[in-house]
Structure 1
Amino acid sequence: MTKLVYYVAISLDGRICAPDGGFEAFPMTGDHLEAIQEDWADTLPSVLYDRSGSTAPRERFATVLMGWNTYAAGLSMTDSPYSHLEQIVFSRSRTAADVGAGVTLTREDPRRVVAALKERGGGDVWLCGGGDLAGQLIADIDRLVLKVNPVVFGDGRPLFAGEYDPTGFVLESSRTFQSGVLITEYARMRPPM
């Protein structure tokens, strides 16, 4: 069964990026990067594979979903950040001319898009960000994978934006690294039948 997985880096205070969209405050070195390369290689930008002459494994994900701000954060490196995956960008104000080759821009309801992707099957769907999109999709997220970084932002975009609506998840695993990063995995708490 295809799952929607929100895999994202966050600060200790639950921010996915600075107010200006930057994420430079997250540690870019450390032993946690080896685990990401081994376990979450599909989430590395295609430019890294292109530079090394290797190919992305596509073992976990078939599709990546991004809000416009998340997509725009990678435009300095490439206009097709995850060309090894089906890329879907959500925006109400941009047009197809604003995205690179191999990137689908849509104004559709994100919940309908996710329902269609789950129905279609195949690899899992990676929700890359941002917080507004995650807030719209909270009811559809099957797994949370949080790379908790040892830094407090104080301000910035939250992990989830939206109205108060408690949603339960169950901790499945947690790994601690010398870098101070924690990678925690949660599954959606399902009501008893």
Structure 2
Amino acid sequence: MRKLTYFVASTIDGFIATPERDDPTGHSAGFFLMEGDHFPGMFADYPDLLPTVAQEMFGVAGPNRAFDTVVEGRVSYEGGLKAGITNAYTHLRHIVFSTTLTSPDATVEVVGTDPAAKIRELKAEDGLGIWLVGGGTLAYSLRDEIDELIVKLHPSALGSGAPMFDGPFSPQAFTLVDLVRYESGVVILKYAKR
């Protein structure tokens, strides 16, 4: 059975985007470090996370290693649309969960039904892992389906913003199974669902 992995960048105070839901990688303050020793290390292990164009630029294009499917919510997907990108991950099956969006790209599947039911269906299929890229609202709705949580923790704090899990108070425990520390200050924390 395939696994659902929520692999997400976060600040030390648990935010994955600005309060306006903008992507902090493009923010002028640089909340997420886009340079440093964490880049080659992380993408050596997870080249599938790079947008297809970046894979080609960094010379890591090739067969998918960890993931063959990426899923995200409407707000996360619209961040790419604002930049004129309809599908950053053409090397992956790309699914967007939304009840209001229609896909501007034939290679992106928009699903308007229950996300958890669709994830269970995907898990039953043959293939590599399923990568949940964001956002926090979708991640919260899929918490029971998340098998693995990988947090790329950046040495910055926003004070407020879009949380990693955006929903009502409902504690859930994970077990830390791996930790990789980089000179850049970025730490990769890998958790398994308890």
TM, length-normalised to structure 1 = 0.92
Q: Residues of 2 paired with 1:68 and 1:129: CA distance?
A: 9
Match of 1:29 in 2: 35
- The answer on 1:93 being equivalent to 2:94 is no
Aligned residues: 187
**Equivalent residue runs for 1:177-188 within 5 Å:** 177-188=182-193
Conserved? CA contact 1:9–1:147, under 8 Å: yes
How far residue 52 of structure 1 moved from its aligned partner, in angstroms, is 5.7
One-letter amino acid matched to 1:4: L
Q: Residues of 2 paired with 1:101 and 1:51: CA distance?
A: 24
Q: Residues of 1 paired with 2:33 and 2:59: CA distance?
A: 25
Q: Residues of 2 paired with 1:37 and 1:159: CA distance?
A: 21
The 1:180–1:52 alpha-carbon spacing in structure 2 relative to 1, beyond 3 Å, is closer
Match of 2:80 in 1: 74
RMSD: 1.5
Q: Residues of 2 paired with 1:40 and 1:70: CA distance?
A: 20
Q: Residues of 1 paired with 2:117 and 2:84: CA distance?
A: 30
How far residue 54 of structure 1 moved from its aligned partner, in angstroms, is 5.7
How far residue 50 of structure 1 moved from its aligned partner, in angstroms, is 4.2
Q: Residues of 1 paired with 2:40 and 2:16: CA distance?
A: 21
Q: Residues of 1 paired with 2:189 and 2:80: CA distance?
A: 24
SS, match of residue 119 in structure 2: helix
How far residue 5 of structure 1 moved from its aligned partner, in angstroms, is 0.2
One-letter amino acid matched to 2:100: S
TM, length-normalised to structure 2 = 0.91
Q: Residues of 1 paired with 2:36 and 2:58: CA distance?
A: 20
> Which stretches in structure 2 are left out of the alignment for 5+ residues?
26-30
Identical-pair percentage:
38
Conserved? CA contact 2:47–2:55, under 8 Å: no
**Equivalent residue runs for 1:67-146 within 5 Å:** 67-75=73-81, 76=83, 78-96=85-103, 99-146=104-151
Q: Deviations over 1:15-37 (max 9, x none)?
A: 00112222132111000001121
